[in-house]
């Protein structure tokens, strides 16, 4: 009868097994503690921002979201108690700041999405390997560049160009009683945001395109598609969840951008007039986030503080809604397309 | 798998092969008996100058290794056991009397990736209609040969291709070939089922929409979609749920959907690259059944690793080894009475 010098199945060392379990338990406990801490910090920030900002909403009611005749800068400081010199009580009408955020973010998304998609297709599908290997790190660096750099580039390089080439002197003078036209305006805000978020979108889209299984591409080519139609009908369709996720991420970054926009938009709480034709885009605005930055030194005034925190509440809600909305949308897209 | 069905299918297959065999027997005899027979010469591609046309009788004998001028040295792969006595490749297929009956033919096809030659000048004949099985051990170049037919090989940037592939007599590697048209006429089913991440309907309608001048409506597409799904034997399973995600189907259903999708392009030839290797036996049986049915109206060239499968479904067979086409002909003959020692060893299951 054959004898085995070693058992066929190594018995699991009891002590080792037990200690491994204990290590697992400790590891898990640490992770849970860290996550719980993060959650508590986020909750605390949210509660604090809502708490400080709430008086602004409660005092102004729904007109908070409207527009008024008083300049926003005046309203921000004096909206609760009235003018200290005995002037009239003013309401905070935050519409100019809301509009500033909407215009710059919306314009940047409209501009950067098609550009980013085409650039991603070029990098991921069409460019020769070497060129793609060269472009890839550039896109990553651009996506990670601090926004203040873009702001500097905008006011030092782009603003003079816009001022010299797009704003005729006579028109500027004609409009000067209402608002001073400079190179820093809606257009520059849109451009700087586009510069900021396009690399982010390109990086996300290109990664997704690269992850499209070769078998789908081959399948389309074997059915008689040329490469462009294969990309359009199969690849872009397959990366829809990434399109949603990347766009939302970029949108979150654009909505929250403060410094670069503060530099690029002229940072005047003006409501551009659609009747001015294309000058609409050459008039200054100030976004919610830029307003917070611009007035961040005035927190001794409780009214100003409450109003700026109220801006913060709007930004918090918007970004949270965007994140959750993106999750839902991209999950729905995945479900429909079965991104397995 | 119902054994009765299986048996019945095998019987049909045998009958059909017998019939083809009988038809071609005369050409066989002519080719073997009289090398100057004009018919045989017409069917014979001019042998490469390095390898003078072998004496048909000598071809049966395993030639000594050194004598096989046309057989290049086997690759220095240690993993691949040196197959028993490499014999002279059969330079001419004797199973097709009239070259016009060839829907596809490879002539001196050489394919290399990064300078590493995978196919060393292959002459393949695919008669019109029926199933041609490409068999051989792994790494012998079957798949490369198949993918060279619809010019998918060149998707790999390192590929270099020489020689000709004649499709209906025209070289697909000639300049000015419309690749998209070629790939519509020569469809392909892949090893891994690869339905697109869209609905079943959209998958099947893909090729039709691709070929349409303007975007056809769903109503216009429906009859065609239903037709090809029926031909692919999938209609009954999916007809109530055409808007289901194609990726939610089982592997076998996905592969039949891919066949339907290929059929929708209205091809004359379908290339299949081990279409059943990722499937369970039941799904495999269904696909084999389908292949045999489809072979009545179009030509199927199938790469298979599974010799039993090749024997079940093939009308013609070609045996490749290390990048050379060793033997081709009527399936029954190749599998049961091969002329070449290496083929004999392979079909006997001695290696591969």
Q: Which of B194, B228, B264 to mutate to test the interface with A (most CBs of A within 10 A)?
A: B194
Give tens-digit pLDDT for B43-67: 344 434 443 334 433 333 333 333 3
Asked whether B214 and B273 are in contact (CB, 8 A), the reply is no
Chain A: residue nearest B196 by CA?
A: A216
What's phi and psi for B228, nearest 5 deg? -70, -30
Residue B77 has pLDDT above 90, yes or no: no
| Separation between Cα atoms, residue B43 and residue A134, nearest integer Å | 53
What pLDDT does A10 receive? Answer: 59
Residue B323 has pLDDT above 60, yes or no: yes
| Separation between Cα atoms, residue B83 and residue B77, nearest integer Å | 12
What pLDDT does A18 receive? Answer: 55
Of A222, A226, A229, the CB nearest to B188: A222
Complex-level ipTM: 0.70
Q: Which of B167, B180, B196 to mutate to test the interface with A (most CBs of A within 10 A)?
A: B196
Q: Which of A30-44, A181-195, B123-137, B336-350 has the lowest mean pLDDT?
A: B336-350
Chain B: residue nearest A218 by CA?
A: B152
What pLDDT does A23 receive? Answer: 85
Contacts of A235 in chain B (CB under 8 A): none
Cα torsion through B215, B218, B223, B227, rounded to 10: 90
What pLDDT does B205 receive? Answer: 93
Is A340 or A32 the better-scoring residue by pLDDT? A32
Average pLDDT over residues A104-133: 94
Give yes or no for B159 touching A (CB within 8 A). no
What pLDDT does A89 receive? Answer: 56
Q: What are the residues whose beta carbons fall under 8 Å from the beta carbon of A6, sequence distance 6 or more? A: none
What pLDDT does B223 receive? Answer: 93
What pLDDT does A51 receive? Answer: 94
Residue B91 has pLDDT above 50, yes or no: no
Cα torsion through B232, B234, B238, B242, rounded to 10: -10
Chain B: residue nearest A222 by CA?
A: B183
What pLDDT does B45 receive? Answer: 41
Confidence of residue A182 (pLDDT cuts 50, 70, 90): confident
- Work out the mean pLDDT of chain A and round it to a whole number: 85
- Work out the mean pLDDT of chain B and round it to a whole number: 77
What pLDDT does B97 receive? Answer: 52
Contacts of B246 in chain A (CB under 8 A): 338
Is B295 or B82 the better-scoring residue by pLDDT? B295
CB contact under 8 Å between B206 and A220, yes or no, is yes
CB contact under 8 Å between A224 and B155, yes or no, is no
Give the percent of chain A with pLDDT over 70. 89
Other CB atoms within 10 Å distance of the CB of residue B42 = 12
What pLDDT does B169 receive? Answer: 85
Pairs of CB atoms within 8 A across A/B:
73
CB contact under 8 Å between A224 and B180, yes or no, is yes
What domains does chain A contain, in order, with CATH numbers?
97-300 (1.10.3720.10)
Confidence of residue A139 (pLDDT cuts 50, 70, 90): very high
Chain A: residue nearest B181 by CA?
A: A224
| Separation between Cα atoms, residue A288 and residue A233, nearest integer Å | 39
Confidence of residue A41 (pLDDT cuts 50, 70, 90): very high
What pLDDT does B138 receive? Answer: 86
Give tens-digit pLDDT for A268-321: 888 888 887 788 888 889 999 999 998 888 777 777 888 889 999 999 999 999
Average pLDDT over residues A161-167: 87
Average pLDDT over residues B237-254: 91
Residue B232 has pLDDT above 50, yes or no: yes
Confidence of residue A21 (pLDDT cuts 50, 70, 90): confident
B274: left (phi over 0), alpha (psi -120 to 50) or beta: left
Q: Strand order in B269-273's β-sheet? A: B186-189, B269-273, B299-303, B130-135, B316-321, B324-330
Contacts of A216 in chain B (CB under 8 A): 194, 196-197
Interface list for B 169-188 with A (CB within 8 A):
179-184, 187-188
Of A220, A224, A336, the CB nearest to B184: A224
Asked whether B324 and B318 are in contact (CB, 8 A), the reply is no
Q: State how far residue A224 is from chain B, nearest Cα, in angstroms.
A: 4
Give yes or no for A331 touching B (CB within 8 A). no
Average pLDDT over residues B194-219: 90
What pLDDT does B46 receive? Answer: 40
Q: Which of A7-11, A160-164, B188-192 has the lowest mean pLDDT?
A: A7-11
Give yes or no for A332 touching B (CB within 8 A). no
CB contact under 8 Å between A226 and B155, yes or no, is no
Give the percent of chain A with pLDDT over 90. 48
Q: State how far residue B179 is from chain A, nearest Cα, in angstroms.
A: 7
Nearest to A330 by CA among A267, A236, A247, A228: A247
Q: Which of A130, A214, A219 to mutate to test the interface with B (most CBs of B within 10 A)?
A: A219
Average pLDDT over residues B64-74: 37
Q: Which of A166-170, B50-54, B137-141, B159-163 has the lowest mean pLDDT?
A: B50-54
Residue A193 has pLDDT above 80, yes or no: yes
What pLDDT does A85 receive? Answer: 58
Residue B12 has pLDDT above 80, yes or no: no
Of B152, B211, B247, the CB nearest to A340: B247
Q: State how far residue A134 is from chain B, nearest Cα, in angstroms.
A: 19
CB contact under 8 Å between B194 and A340, yes or no, is no
CB contact under 8 Å between A222 and B152, yes or no, is yes
């Amino acid at each position: 009868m054959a004898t085995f010098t070693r058992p066929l199945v190594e018995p699991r060392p009891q002590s080792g097994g037990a200690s491994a379990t204990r290590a697992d338990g400790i590891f898990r406990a640490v992770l849970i503690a860290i996550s719980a801490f993060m959650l508590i910090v986020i909750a605390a920030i949210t509660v604090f921002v809502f708490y400080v900002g709430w008086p602004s909403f409660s005092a102004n009611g729904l007109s908070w979201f409207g527009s008024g005749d008083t300049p926003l800068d005046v309203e921000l400081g004096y909206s609760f108690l009235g003018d200290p010199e005995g002037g009239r009580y003013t309401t905070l009408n935050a519409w100019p700041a809301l509009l500033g955020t909407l215009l710059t973010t919306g314009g940047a998304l409209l501009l950067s999405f098609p550009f980013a998609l085409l650039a991603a297709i070029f990098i991921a599908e069409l460019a020769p390997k070497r060129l793609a290997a060269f472009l890839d790190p550039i896109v990553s660096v651009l996506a990670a560049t601090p926004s203040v750099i873009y702001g500097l580039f905008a006011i030092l390089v782009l603003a003079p160009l816009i001022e010299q080439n797009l704003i005729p002197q006579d028109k500027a003078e004609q409009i000067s009683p209402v608002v001073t036209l400079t190179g820093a305006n809606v257009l520059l805000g849109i451009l700087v945001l586009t510069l900021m978020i396009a690399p982010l979108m390109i990086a996300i889209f290109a990664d997704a395109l690269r992850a499209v299984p070769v078998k789908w591409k081959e399948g389309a080519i074997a059915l008689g598609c040329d490469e462009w139609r294969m990309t359009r009908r199969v690849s872009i369709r397959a990366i829809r969840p990434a399109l949603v996720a990347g766009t939302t991420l970029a949108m979150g970054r654009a909505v929250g951008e403060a410094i670069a926009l503060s530099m690029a938009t002229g940072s005047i709480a003006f409501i551009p007039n659609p009747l001015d034709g294309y000058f609409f885009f050459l008039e200054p605005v100030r976004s919610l986030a830029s307003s917070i930055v611009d007035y961040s030194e005035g927190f001794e005034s409780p009214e100003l503080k409450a109003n700026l925190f109220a801006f913060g509440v709007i930004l918090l809600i918007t970004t949270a809604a965007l994140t959750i909305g993106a999750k839902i949308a991209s999950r729905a897209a995945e479900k429909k397309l079965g991104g397995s | 798998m119902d054994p009765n069905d299986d048996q019945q299918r095998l019987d049909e297959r045998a009958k059909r092969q017998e019939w083809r065999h009988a038809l071609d027997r005369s050409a066989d005899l002519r080719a073997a008996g009289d090398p100057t027979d004009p018919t045989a010469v017409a069917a014979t591609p001019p042998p490469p100058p390095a390898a003078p046309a072998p004496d048909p009788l000598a071809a049966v004998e395993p030639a000594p290794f050194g004598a096989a001028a046309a057989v290049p040295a086997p690759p220095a792969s240690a993993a691949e056991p040196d197959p028993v006595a490499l014999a002279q490749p059969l330079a001419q297929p004797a199973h097709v009397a009239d070259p016009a009956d060839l829907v596809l033919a490879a002539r001196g096809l050489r394919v290399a990736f990064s300078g590493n030659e995978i196919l060393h000048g292959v002459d393949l004949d695919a008669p019109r209609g029926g199933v041609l099985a490409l068999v051989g051990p792994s790494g012998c170049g079957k798949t490369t040969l198949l993918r060279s037919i619809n010019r998918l090989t060149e998707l790999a940037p390192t590929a270099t291709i020489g020689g000709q592939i004649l499709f209906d007599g025209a070289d697909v590697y000639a300049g000015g070939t419309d690749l998209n048209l070629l790939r519509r006429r020569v469809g392909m089913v892949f090893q891994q089922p690869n339905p697109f991440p869209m609905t079943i309907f959209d998958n099947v309608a893909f090729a039709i929409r691709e070929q349409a001048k303007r975007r056809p409506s769903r109503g216009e597409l429906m009859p065609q979609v239903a037709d090809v799904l029926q031909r692919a034997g999938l209609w009954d399973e999916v007809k109530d749920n055409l808007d289901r995600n194609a990726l939610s189907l089982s592997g076998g259903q996905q592969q039949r959907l891919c066949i339907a999708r290929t059929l929708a392009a209205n091809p004359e030839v379908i290339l299949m690259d081990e279409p059943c290797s990722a499937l369970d036996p039941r799904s495999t049986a269904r696909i084999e059944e389908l292949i045999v049915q489809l072979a009545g109206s179009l030509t199927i060239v199938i790469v298979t690793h599974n010799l039993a499968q090749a024997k079940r479904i093939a009308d013609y067979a070609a045996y490749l080894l290390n990048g050379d086409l060793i033997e081709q002909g009527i399936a029954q003959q190749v599998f049961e009475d091969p002329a070449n020692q290496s083929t004999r060893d392979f079909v006997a299951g001695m290696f591969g």
